[in-house]
Structure 1
Amino acid sequence: MHLDSASLDAMPSRERAALVNSLSGFKSANLVGTADADGRCNVAIMSSVVHLGSHPPLLALVVRPGGEERHTLDNLLRSGHYSINHVAVDMVDAAHQTAARYPRDISEFEATGLTPEWWEGFNAPLVAEAHVQIAMQLREHQKLAINGTHLVIGEVVQAEIPNGCVNEDGSLNLTEAGTVALTGLDSYHRADLMKRMAYAKPDLPPRTLS
C-alpha cells in the first residue's frame, strides 16, 4: 500500500490518526503525574517522551493541543514539577484507563486504582506501582506554531530505578525493569532484548556484545 498526501487527507480522521500514530514505530509508555495548587492529583498516559541530552539530563514531552482542559499541561506549567513513570507489564490496564477524560475534580489515581507517591521537596506525585520513577523540573515550554502541540522540556532531578536493572555501562535494562512499549494509541508490547551491539566504528564490522 502506497500513501501520498492526498490519500492520507482523504482517510477518515480516526483511521488517519491511528495510522500516523503508528508510523513512528515502538514508543515509550509513561504515566505523567502532576498536581494542582490545591493538591489535586492528575496522572495521564503519554507516549511522546524523548531524550534530549545527558548533561544536564533533559527529556522532552509532547502534549496535544489544549491548555487548561489538558490538566497535565496546566498543572505542570503552574507548578514546574511533574513525574514520568514507566508503565510496567503488571499495570497496563490501569495505565491505559488514565486516558479517559475524567473531570478535573476526579483524580485518575483514585479512578484507576493507582497510588500517588510523594517525595520530599517535590510538588508532583509519582506512581507507586511504577518500577522506574523520574522526578522532573520544568525547564522550557514552547507552543508549536505548526499544529498547536506543546513541547515541554524538563530536567531529571531525581529517579528511582530497581536494583539489578542497570547494566555495567550504566544503561538501564528495560527488560529487567519490566517496562513495556506502546504502538499507536492502544497496543502494548513486552520489551524482550534481542541483542546488544558494540559501539560502531568505521574501521570495524558490526559486533555483538557478549
Structure 2
Amino acid sequence: MKTQYTHNDIAEMDRIKRLRLINSITGVKPANLIGTVSSDGHENLAIFSSVVHLGSNPPFLGFVLRPHFEFRRDTYNNLEQSGYYTINHVPAAHTEQAHYTSAKFDEGESEFERCGFTPEYLGDFPAPFVKEAPVKIGLKKVNEIPIPQNGTLFVIGQIELIEVPEWVDEANGKLNLEKLAIAGISGLNTYYKMTEVGDYPYARVEDLPDFNKNR
C-alpha cells in the first residue's frame, strides 16, 4: 500500500504534520552552520540546511533565509551590516550542539558560547568561522533575491576563502565527505552521517553500462 497526497490534502493537513512532511520530502540535505558578526561585535551562529551550489567560476553558493519580519533575524541583520559570512560543515559528532543554535536566544547572546562552539577568525576575513568544522567557507554576499510567494530570501554569496584539512586537499579537488565525518539533515531535526556508495567517472553516452541486461 502507498499513500498519496493531493495539493488540497497537503493544504488541509495538520500544520505540524505538513511541516515535517514537506521539510523532509527532499531527502538528506547538507548541514551547515552560518557564522556572522554584527557591527558592534556580537557573533551569531545558526544552522541551515538550504545551502546549494550555484557555479564554480565565479564560485557562488546560495542559501534561503526565512522571512525576516516574523521575528528577530540576527543572520539577516548581520549580513545587512557587514556583507560577509561563513558556511561551516557540521561534524557528525557535533549535531546536537549544532541543532540547538536554532533556539531563540536573547539578543546579544552568542550561539557559539551557549552551544559549545569556538569562533575562529582566519586571516583578515571579517566573519567568524567554526573552529570545530572540518570544512570552512568564507563568503561575501553579492545578491539577495526576494521570493514573494512565501516571503523568503535567496542569498547569493561569492566564495572568498576555503579551509579544509591538508589530508583531503587531493589532486582532483574532490572532498570525501565520509572521511570528513560531516552530517546531513532530513527535515528540521533528524541528522545523518555520510557514507560513500559510489564514485563514478564523468558520464558519457559512449561509456554507458548496459543497465537493462539483468532486468
Same fold by TM-score greater than 0.5: yes
In the alignment, which residue of structure 2 is the partner of 1:84? 87
Residue identity matched to 1:9? A
For structure 1, the 5+ residue unaligned runs are none
Structure 1, residues 75-125: CA drift from partner, whole Å, max 9, x if none? 112101000000011211110110101122111111111111112322211
Structure-2 separation of matches of 1:166 and 1:176: 12
Query: What percent identity do the matched residue pairs reach?
Result: 39
Q: Which residue of 2 aligns with 1:21?
A: 23
In structure 2, stretches of 5+ residues that fail to align are 211-215
Q: CA–CA distance in 2 between the matches of 1:78 and 1:37?
A: 6
The residue number in structure 2 matching 1:161 is 164
SS in 2 for 1:203: helix
CA contact (8 A) 1:132 1:161 kept: yes
Q: How far off its partner does 1:7 sit?
A: 0.5
CA distance in 1, matches of 2:183, 2:95: 8
Paired AA for residue 29 in structure 2: K
Give the deviation of 1:206 after TM superposition: 3.9
Residues of 2 paired with 1:120 and 1:196: CA distance? 35
Counterpart-to-counterpart distance in 1, 2:209 and 2:52:
26
What does 1:106-117 align with in structure 2 at a 5 Å threshold? 106-117=109-120
Structure 1 residue runs of 4 or more that deviate by more than 3 Å after TM superposition: none
Conserved? CA contact 1:165–1:174, under 8 Å: no
SS at match of 1:8: helix
1:125 to 105, 108, 128: 128
Any idea what SS the aligned residue of 1:157 has?
A: strand
The superposition leaves residues 25-64 of structure 1 with CA deviations (integer Å, 9 ceiling, x where unpaired) of 1100000000101000000000000000001110001111
Determine the structure 1 residue equivalent to 2:12. 10
Given the superposition, is the C-alpha separation of residues 79 and 7 from structure 1 closer, same or farther in structure 2, using an over 3 Å criterion?
A: same
Aligned counterparts of 1:76 and 1:193: Cα–Cα separation in 2: 34
TM-score (norm 1): 0.94
Q: Which residue is equivalent to 2:42?
A: 40
1:167 Cα deviation from its structure 2 partner:
4.2
1:61 equivalent among 57, 60, 63: 63
Note the alpha carbon deviations across 1:116-163, whole angstroms, 9 max, x for none.
Answer: 111232221111111111111111012211110011000110011012
Q: CA RMSD in A?
A: 1.4
Q: Any conservation in 2 of the 1:140–1:152 contact (CA below 8 Å)?
A: yes
Q: Name the counterpart of 2:73.
A: 70
- 1:25, 1:94 → 2: CA distance? 22
- How many residues of Structure 1 are paired with residues of Structure 2 in the alignment? 207
The equivalent residue for 2:182 is 179
C-alpha contact (below 8 Å) 1:60/1:152 kept by paired residues: yes
> Does 2:155 match 1:152?
yes
Q: Distance in 2 between matches of 1:172 and 1:150?
A: 29
Counterpart amino acid of residue 155 in structure 2: V
**The 10-residue stretch of structure 1 (60-69 or 3-12) with the greater mean CA deviation from structure 2:** 60-69
Distance 2:206 2:122 in 1: 48
